[in-house]
Chains A and B, each alone.
Chain A
Amino acid sequence: MEITQIVGFGLVAAVLVIILRQYKPEIALLVSIAAGVALFLAVLGKIGAVIEVLQDLSRRANVNMVYLGAILKIVGIAYIADFGAQICRDAGEGALAAKIELAAKILILVLAIPIVMAVLDILMKILD
């Protein structure tokens, strides 16, 4: 079972990080990052199937693929920023985590501009 491997890996990494944090906090941080990346890469291959389903659903619902791409990018940005911000918080750098989240929010809003404009355009056309 894949989930048992993932959970086992996560638990081992967590124990290792707790032990290392007492003696070498900087190494503990690196182990934490490495474990997070490894867990992410382990499930990365499976995301393709989910995206295919989403693309198929969008095609059937006549949703423009550009918008779906934007949404997926936004979700990706959110996950990556969340990952980075949590690591920063674990390292005691709450300010840095807040800056990462701010950057992610700005990027998300930039990517959302075409969708906002599309909504506005539709509403204007309907109201005219």
Chain B
Amino acid sequence: MEAVQNLVRELVILIILAVTLELLLPHGDLRRYVRMVLGLLIIVAVLQAGVSFWNRDLAADLSWVSLGQPDQEATAEILREGERLWQLGQSRAQTEYEQGLARQIKALAGLNPDVAVAEVRVRVEGGTATGEPGRLEEVVLVLEGESWDKNNEVLPVAAPAKPAPDPEAVERLCRIVADFYGLASEQVTVEYR
């Protein structure tokens, strides 16, 4: 019943469309030609409506002839796939950006001969869909050796495998990195291994 209702509705709209288009036709010799093409269009539309009513398989086969409304489900699937690809690209871009920043900071730290930085880790957050890479939130400088205990005046008896860097030099390096990237001093931390 609903299919018949849809068919009748489509045909009524088609008739209205045909009459409206006919009003637009010019006078003169060219009128016959335009009417012929308009008639063909109406035939296509009526046949398509009839075919989709009587034979669903044939209608699917003729979908290229009269597409009508796009398939909502297929569109949603395409959009989901596009979203997934975008997320993948965004994540790769963020990883490369973080790696690049880490290399940059390591090179900057390498200019300071007093502190040997073994590794640099960064955390970037807030990348946007418009391609902005996000903001640098945290920098971790990983140094070789053991940390100096500032509260303890006594130095460890057993010498460490590698001498710990001078804490003042480490602090200076942290300040340089923080100033260079416009970070607060708490955002640049040091780890020892």
A contact residues vs B (CB 8 Å cutoff): 50, 53-54, 57-64, 67-68, 70-71, 74-75, 78-79, 81-82, 85, 101, 104-105, 108-109, 111-112, 115-116, 118-119, 121-123, 125-126
Contact = CB atoms under 8 A, between A and B. Distances in A.
Contact of B20 (A53, A62, A70): A53
Contact of B26 (A50, A53, A63, A78): A78
A74 B37 contact: yes
Interface of B: 9-10, 13-14, 16-17, 20-21, 24-31, 33-34, 36-38, 40-41, 43-45, 47-49, 51, 58, 61-62, 65-69
B126 to A, nearest CB: 41
27 contacts: A53-B20, A54-B21, A57-B17, A62-B10, A62-B48, A63-B44, A63-B45, A63-B68, A64-B66, A64-B67, A64-B68, A74-B37, A75-B21, A75-B26, A75-B34, A78-B26, A78-B34, A104-B30, A105-B33, A108-B33, A115-B40, A115-B41, A118-B66, A119-B40, A122-B44, A122-B47, A125-B61
Contact of B68 (A62, A101, A121, A123): A62
A85 B135 CA distance: 66
Nearest to B68: A62
Given A60-B13, A122-B62, A115 B37 contact: yes
Contact of B33 (A60, A63, A109): A109
A109 to B, nearest CB: 7
B37 A121 contact: no
A3 to B, nearest CB: 17
B30 A62 contact: no
Contacts, number: 113
A59 B70 CA distance: 11
Query: For the complex, would chain A's binding face be called helix, strand, loop or mixed by DSSP majority?
Result: helix
Given A59-B69, A75-B34, A125 B62 contact: yes
B21 A62 contact: no
Contacts of B66: 62-64, 67, 118
A111 B37 contact: yes
Contacts of A116: 40
B37 A63 contact: no
Contacts of A61: 10, 13-14, 17, 45, 49
Contacts of A104: 30
Given A58-B17, A82-B30, A75 B24 contact: yes
Query: For the complex, would chain B's binding face be called helix, strand, loop or mixed by DSSP majority?
Result: helix
A115 B40 CA distance: 7
Nearest to A104: B30
Contacts of A115: 37, 40-41, 44
Contact of B30 (A58, A68, A81, A119): A81
A62 B49 contact: yes
Contacts of B10: 60-62
